[in-house]
Amino acid sequence: MTTDKVVHVSDNEFDSKVLGSELPCLVDFWAPWCGPCKAIGPVIEELAAEFDGKVVITKMNVDDNPATPGKFGIRAIPTLILFKGGEVVDQITGAVGKSQLQDLINKGL
């Protein structure tokens, strides 16, 4: 299932689209060469549709946008960070199951 609900963000847009978001925002820090990142991609798409209107789901390519991952100390990918009101609520590193990601998102609701 592919949706257009996932928002791709760059370093330049991060502050306005993520930190400035009125809704909680989940950021998937990933790279095209990362196997586990590709593995959770479809789950991210499903969650974007499931939580549409409640949470903004975004992806950031760490190869194209090195500044933001550096700012948040991203050392491994995929790393998913949940932001609410511009603050980090929680984060998960690694390819995890859908239920763990739902639990993470629910912390921001």
Six-digit token string for 35: 């196997």
Homologous superfamily, domain 7-106? Glutaredoxin (3.40.30.10)
Q: Which of 37, 56, 77, 82 is catalytic?
A: 37
Q: Is the pLDDT of residue 2 over 50?
A: no
Q: Which residues contact 35 (CB under 8 A, 6 or more apart)?
A: none
Q: Is the pLDDT of residue 3 over 80?
A: no
Distance CA 57, CA 24 (A): 9
Q: Which of 6, 9, 18, 34 is catalytic?
A: 34
Domain boundaries defined on the chain = 7-106
Q: What is the pLDDT of residues 43-86, one digit of tens each?
A: 999 999 999 999 999 999 999 999 999 999 999 999 999 999 99
Six-digit token string for 5: 């609900």
For position 84, what pLDDT does the model report? 97
Distance CA 19, CA 1 (A): 28
- pTM beyond 0.85, yes or no: yes
CB neighbours of residue 15 within 10 Å: 12
- How does residue 4 score in pLDDT terms, banded at 50, 70 and 90? confident
Q: Is the pLDDT of residue 1 over 50?
A: no
Quote the percentage of the chain above a pLDDT of 70: 97
25 is an active site residue: no
34 is an active site residue: yes
pLDDT (average), residues 13-38: 97
